[in-house]
Amino acid sequence: MNSSRHFPSKVERLDLALRSGALGDVAGILADMSPGDVAYFIASSPPDYRDVLLGFLEPEQEALVVNELPDELRNAALADRAPEAVAEIVEQLDDDDVADILHELPDDLTGRVLASLDEQYRQRLQTVLSFSDDSAGGLMSTDIITIRADLTLDVVLRYLRRHSEIPSNTDNLIVVNRHGRFVGLLPIGILLVSDPAISVREMMITDQAAIDVDTPATEVARRFERNDWISAPVVDGNGQLLGRITIDDVVDVIMEEADHSLTSLAGLAEEDTFASVWQSAPRRAVWLGVNLATALLASSVINLFQATIEKVVALAVLMPIVASMGGIAGTQSLTILIRAMAMGQINDRNQFWVVGRESLVGALNGMLWALVIAATAAIWFEDLTLGFIIACAMLINLITAGCAGAGLPLALKKLHVDPALAGGVMVTTVTDVVGFLAFLGLATLFYA
């Protein structure tokens, strides 16, 4: 007879210990967990538990866990600490991770933390901090191994053996000339299996271009995805090697972009799921206020046709259908465009084609559902004219929805406004206003 037993995971054991109040077991369980798992558990816990969990961490583990926390939680965990305490944490991390942390902290605290570090480390950090955190320079690490092209592979191997360890995610050694300019890459795999007497110049690859230091982080992520890179060198405008970007930093960029797009589509800035009521309410109130203003605009359009609605009560019943269908169609087009923009697929060459395509999709769906709603309204209210009116309004609004859903994100981007954050409210407003105008305007024309 076979029997299976469920052995609880470390996360389940930790959750059980916290809920049962067995705090003596918490420290032991935490010490046996990976930093990423601990950070995930902390981020998935209510605020009261977070302080308790952080308090149980050993100093070395705390640095690694804090580095894995979402930006907002990480800032909250460090903002009230003494500069010396923050310095002890950041000294255990890679310089690109430290730069991410210091970019988010208040300027006065960042300055005091830097003053607490030794001179050589501080200069390395200031190099990375001089670049925007959403650029290649902000993502790069200066912890790199460089070699010259005129060396033999045997010399390179002996050079590597002198290191106690090599930087994580090192799949290539970076080849530079005597002036420190990027020349090419020597893959570790080639180094290990090739004849040691061969020179680096004979075996290095030169077809992988370096990334310019000012390249946006989203473009860096797209290049890594397209080329399946594990790491890539970063250079300045003169080709001078400054550092390298590794896949772990790119994954963070992708996750942040996905999270930003998802929350922005709901009219929110990035929000902690377990943030307090007093933190969440004000953030949401802003866009609720914007939405209220746009709803009042749509209502004012309805008010223009109050006399028509009083004569034909069926209009009040059917109005929400026109607005709702337009809103859904507009949101579909908006989502497609924002996704394509996030993936870097939209450019001057194809943007008008996409707007035209979405307008035609709206027209086809408009004709289909116009026939359906026309028949429904005519049978329901026994009025063929009413069916014709709502069919025309539906067609007009779905074409408008396709055009607005595709066109507004492009216009917002040119105005340097986040399309994901503002697009949903604007598209809904356009479809509501156009839908009501078309439906009630045609009704007024036919029933006057």
CB 188 within 8 A of CB 212: no
Of the residues 193, 225, 246, which one is the last residue of a structural domain?
246
* Count of helix runs (H) and strand runs (E) in the chain: 22, 6
Same domain, 355 and 285: yes
- Residue 388: enclosing H or E segment and its boundaries? helix 384-414
What does the alpha-carbon distance between residue 123 and residue 139 come to, in Å, rounded to a whole number?
16
Same domain, 121 and 205: no
The structure's pTM equals: 0.67
Residue 188 in any domain: the answer is yes
Same domain, 157 and 132: no
- Residue 149: enclosing H or E segment and its boundaries? none
Which CATH number covers residue 184?
Answer: 3.10.580.10
Give SS3 for 197: coil
Of the residues 78, 104, 136, which one is the last residue of a structural domain?
136
Residue 4 in any domain: the answer is no
**Structure confidence by residue, pLDDT tens digits, 326-351:** 999 998 998 888 888 877 788 888 88
Query: How many angstroms from the chain centroid is the CA of residue 393?
Result: 37
Same domain, 218 and 113: no
Same domain, 439 and 306: yes
Strand pairing report for 182-187 and 241-246:
unpaired
Tell the residue number behind the tokens 């943030």, with chain if given.
275
**Domain of residue 358, residue span:** 277-447
Same domain, 36 and 70: yes
Same domain, 382 and 233: no
* pLDDT at residue 1, rounded to an integer: 44
Of the residues 82, 117, 136, which one is the last residue of a structural domain?
136
Residue closest to 334 by CA, chosen among 402, 435, 429, 430: 402
* Tally of CB atoms within 10 A around 189: 10
* pLDDT at residue 7, rounded to an integer: 46
**Structure confidence by residue, pLDDT tens digits, 32-91:** 888 888 888 888 887 777 878 888 888 788 888 888 888 778 887 887 788 888 888 888
C-alpha separations of 322 from 116, 156, 313, 314, 401 in Å = 63, 71, 16, 13, 11
Hey, what are 232's tokens? 């890539």
Same domain, 78 and 168: no
Burial of 5 (0-12, 13-18, 19+ CB in 10 A): exposed
Length of the chain: 448
Q: Cα angle vertex 296, ends 290, 299, to 5°?
A: 145
List per-block mean pLDDT (blocks of 10 residues) for the chain, which spans 448 residues: 54 77 77 85 80 81 86 80 83 80 81 81 80 88 91 94 88 94 94 94 92 93 91 94 92 78 59 65 73 84 86 87 92 87 80 92 94 93 92 95 92 83 85 93 87
Count of structural domains within the chain: 3
Which CATH number covers residue 60?
Answer: 1.25.60.10
* pLDDT at residue 432, rounded to an integer: 93
Same domain, 117 and 47: yes
CB 446 within 8 A of CB 385: yes
Tell the residue number behind the tokens 């935490």, with chain if given.
30
Query: How many angstroms from the chain centroid is the CA of residue 353?
Result: 26
* pLDDT at residue 179, rounded to an integer: 92
Hey, what are 81's tokens? 């600490």
Burial of 439 (0-12, 13-18, 19+ CB in 10 A): buried
C-alpha separations of 416 from 30, 406, 421 in Å = 44, 16, 12
Going 283 to 289 to 291 to 292, the CA torsion angle's sign is positive
DSSP letter at 70 equals -
